[in-house]
């Protein structure tokens, strides 16, 4: 988020006046103007509602990639080259909550959002649709990575980053709740979209399915883009920014970033592989779809709930709750699963605990801004997204080697001996190590 000269200085002088929409003089032009109310009011809630729906439509699709993973792996023309299919999903779903497989992508998108925040959001929707339509014509996995993966994520981020940056202006005291509601859009979409995609893929194949979704998403999203506008006046936010990168020197920030990166290295694996794991147990494709939806549905509750906790508790407390709960659900429910009931329990508990981890990003923003009021929230989220992006790409690159040779198959029982044992252990370990920020606080490192 840009730190505008007159408007932001007014925000720092009197946040209470700003929250009530009190009139303040514009020192450059003379007349008074009134800022919309923060943390509530019609404009703030319309902004948040638009964020929720756009989040659902933009990122709910790639977060349901497990359905496409199963389809591409078992249907021509991609079943003959299954290597690399998982990378499509982790490339598309690493937004801020996810980014591309280039380390500087999130920071670049933050700069673009700050510079062209009124225009980039309108360019993103056509790029997303073009990406999916282009993907519908390809016949090789590498081209799916470029289109359904990278190009789609680029277009989605052009829509998403301006909204993400502006949310910090609209919600101040209730920041964690607001981010949680916004990010819950992915979970809601993830509850519905897998069933829609499964039905469309079964009836029409992937080419027509991608074209249908490309058309539907742009039709539904376009009317909402108008409401994704900044709270601060455009004349103010167009001024040169003070970047507020002092947080980069903070040990606290780097510990929290390390935990987020490690947790992300395993977080996406269940959503991608649950359908194929279910099929390995002799369960139907519909059951695999159900499991992905249960994960996403549980994440809706936890994303909002943990976001509200961020407003009341230290971020490391929420991190510990999420990490321990996710690790226990992986090692206990997934590792010991051999039938549908245990898999359902895993999906619910993992979605609840792991799904809420993303809300801790709002807590990191809150914590570093308490230490340095000049911190730019957009830059913090951009760097956090770099870590989450690295973790997501690592999960895509590591998942196939972990499956290669079906480790422990026939040597261990239940899920551990299913051939997916390596994935289960990797996911559980990364969930555990995601709590490094909590451990650092206990050791006095932050």
Q: Is the model more confident about 190 or about 44?
A: 44
Domain range for 62 is 42-442
- 190 pLDDT higher than 50: yes
Which residue intervals of 243-339 are DSSP H helices? 251-267, 269-280, 285-310, 315-328
Res 320: pLDDT: 95
In a domain, residue 180? The reply is yes
Q: Distance (Å, rounded) from C-alpha 376 to C-alpha 385?
A: 14
37 domain residue, yes or no: no
Runs of H (alpha helix) within 222-250 = 234-237
**Coil, helix or strand for 233?**
coil
Lowest mean pLDDT among 128-137, 175-184, 386-395, 406-415: 406-415
DSSP letters along 188-223, please? HHHHHHHHHHHHHHHHHHHHHHHHHHHHHHHHHHGG
Percent of the chain with pLDDT over 70: 81
CA–CA gap between residue 337 and residue 277 (Å, rounded): 10
Residue 112 confidence (pLDDT)? 62
Model confidence at 239, pLDDT cuts 50, 70, 90, reads very low
> Which pLDDT belongs to residue 2?
36
Which pLDDT does position 430 carry in this prediction?
A: 95
Q: Which of 47-56, 294-303, 319-328 has the highest mean pLDDT?
A: 319-328
The pLDDT, as a whole number, for residue 435 is 92
Does residue 331 form part of some domain? yes
How far does Cα 341 stand from its chain's mean position?
Answer: 28
Which H or E run contains 23? strand 23-25
Angle between helices 360-371 and 377-403 (to 10 degrees): 140
The domain that contains 64 carries what CATH number? 1.20.1250.20
pLDDT in tens, 399-441: 878 887 777 777 777 888 888 888 999 999 999 999 998 988 8
Q: Are 400 and 86 in contact (CB under 8 A)?
A: yes
- Amino acid 74: pLDDT: 81
Would residue 311 count as lying in a domain?
yes
Residue 281 has pLDDT above 90, yes or no: no
pLDDT band at 38 (very low <50, low <70, confident <90, very high): confident
Q: Which of 77-86, 222-231, 265-274 has the highest mean pLDDT?
A: 265-274
Are 130 and 215 in contact by the 8 Å Cβ rule? The answer is: no
Q: What is the mean pLDDT of residues 89-96?
A: 49
CB neighbourhood size of 79 (10 A): 12
- pLDDT of 164 > 50? The answer is yes
The alpha-helical segments, DSSP class H, found in 311-420 are 315-328, 340-355, 360-371, 377-403
Burial of 82 from C-beta contacts in 10 A (0-12 / 13-18 / 19+): middle
pLDDT given at position 6: 37
- Number of domains composing the chain: 1
pLDDT class of 28 with cuts at 50, 70, 90: very low
What 3-state class would DSSP assign to 320?
Answer: helix
Largest CA distance in the chain: 78
If you average pLDDT over each of 26-40, 106-120, 126-140, 217-231, which comes out highest? 126-140
Cβ(152)–Cβ(91) below 8 Å:
no
- Beta strand 32-34 with 23-25 is antiparallel
Identify the pLDDT of residue 432.
Answer: 95
pLDDT average, residue stretch 95-105? 41
- pLDDT tens digits for range 315-366: 999 999 999 999 999 999 999 988 899 999 999 999 999 988 988 988 898 8
Residue 323 is predicted with a pLDDT of 95
Task: Please give the pLDDT value at position 1.
Answer: 37
Q: How far apart are CA 2 and CA 164, in angstroms?
A: 12
3-state secondary structure of 34: strand
The three-class DSSP label of residue 24 is strand
Q: Which residue has the higher pLDDT, 316 or 190?
A: 316
SS3 label, residue 408 = coil
What per-residue confidence (pLDDT) applies to 133? 93
Supply φ then ψ for residue 34, to 5 degrees: -120, 125
311 vs 406, higher pLDDT: 311
Encoded tokens for 303: 């994303």
Q: Tell me what pLDDT residue 88 has.
A: 63
3-state secondary structure of 153: helix
Q: What tens digit of pLDDT does each residue of 134-155 get?
A: 999 988 888 888 888 888 888 8
Give the predicted TM-score (pTM) of the model: 0.69
The helix, strand and coil proportions of the chain, stated in percent and rounded to the nearest 5, come to 75, 0, 25
* 358 prior amide bond cis, ω within 30: no
The predicted structure's pLDDT at residue 436: 92
- Residue 35 placed within a domain: no
Q: For residue 20, is it within any domain?
A: no
Residue 285: inside a domain:
yes
User: What is the pLDDT averaged over residues 149-166?
Assistant: 81
- pLDDT score recorded for residue 42: 87
| CB-based contact 102:382 (threshold 8 Å) | no
- State the average pLDDT over residues 368-381: 78
**Euclidean distance between CA atoms 70 and 72, whole angstroms:** 6
Three-class secondary structure of residue 362 per DSSP: helix
pLDDT at 110: 59
Confidence at residue 8, expressed as pLDDT on a 0 to 100 scale:
37
Residue 88 vs residue 299, higher pLDDT: 299
> pLDDT higher for 75 or 263?
263
Q: 6 with 27: CB under 8 angstroms?
A: yes
Phi, psi at 80, each rounded to 5°: -80, -10
Instruction: Confirm whether 270 is domain-assigned.
Output: yes
What is the predicted pLDDT for the residue at 215?
92
pLDDT score for 34: 75
User: Based on the number of CB atoms within 10 Å of its own CB, is 71 exposed (0-12), middle (13-18) or buried (19 or more)?
Assistant: buried
Mean pLDDT of 32-57: 83
Neighbour tally for 234: CB within 10 Å: 11
306 has a pLDDT exceeding 50: yes
Q: pLDDT at position 149, please?
A: 81
Q: Distance between the two ends of the chain, CA-based, in angstroms?
A: 25
Q: What is the structure's pLDDT at 172?
A: 82
In the DSSP assignment, the letter for residue 75 is S
């Amino acid at each position: 988020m840009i730190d505008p000269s007159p408007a932001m200085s007014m925000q720092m002088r009197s946040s209470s006046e700003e929250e009530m929409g009190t009139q303040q003089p514009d020192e450059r032009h003379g007349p008074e103007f009134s800022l919309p109310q923060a943390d509530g009011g019609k404009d703030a809630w319309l902004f948040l509602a638009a964020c929720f729906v756009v989040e659902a439509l933009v990122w709910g699709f790639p977060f349901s990639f497990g359905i496409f993973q199963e389809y591409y792996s078992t249907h021509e023309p991609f079943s003959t080259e299954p290597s690399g299919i998982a990378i499509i999903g982790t490339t598309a779903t690493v937004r801020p909550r996810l980014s591309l497989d280039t380390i500087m992508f999130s920071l670049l998108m933050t700069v673009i959002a700050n510079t062209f925040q009124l225009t980039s959001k309108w360019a993103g929707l056509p790029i997303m649709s073009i990406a999916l339509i282009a993907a519908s014509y390809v016949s090789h996995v590498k081209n799916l990575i470029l289109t359904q993966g990278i190009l789609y994520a680029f277009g989605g981020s052009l829509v998403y980053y301006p909204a993400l940056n502006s949310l910090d202006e609209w919600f101040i005291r209730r920041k964690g709740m607001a981010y949680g509601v916004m990010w819950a859009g992915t979970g809601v979409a993830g509850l519905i979209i897998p069933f829609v995609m499964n039905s469309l893929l079964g009836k029409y194949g992937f080419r027509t399915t991608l074209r249908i979704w490309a058309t539907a998403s742009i039709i539904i999203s376009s009317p909402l883009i108008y409401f994704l506008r900044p709270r601060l006046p455009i004349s103010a936010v167009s001024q040169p920014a003070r970047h507020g990168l002092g947080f980069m020197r903070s040990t606290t920030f780097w510990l929290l970033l390390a935990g987020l990166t490690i947790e992300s290295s395993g977080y996406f694996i269940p959503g991608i592989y649950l359908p194929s794991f279910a099929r390995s147990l002799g369960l139907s494709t519909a059951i695999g779809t159900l499991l992905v939806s249960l994960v996403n549905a549980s994440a809706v509750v936890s994303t909002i709930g943990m976001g509200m906790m961020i407003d009341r508790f230290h971020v490391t407390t929420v991190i510990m709750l999420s990490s321990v709960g996710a690790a226990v659900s992986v090692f206990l429910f997934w590792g010991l699963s051999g039938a549908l009931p245990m898999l359902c329990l895993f999906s619910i508990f993992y979605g609840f605990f792991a799904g809420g981890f993303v809300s801790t990003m709002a807590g990191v923003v809150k914590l570093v801004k308490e230490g340095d009021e000049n911190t730019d929230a957009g830059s913090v989220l951009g760097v956090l997204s770099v870590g989450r992006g690295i973790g997501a790409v690592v999960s895509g690159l590591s998942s196939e080697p972990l499956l290669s040779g079906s480790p422990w198959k026939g040597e261990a029982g239940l899920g551990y001996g299913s051939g997916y044992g390596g994935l289960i252990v990797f996911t559980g370990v990364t969930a555990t190590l995601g709590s490094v920020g909590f451990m650092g606080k206990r050791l006095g490192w932050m």
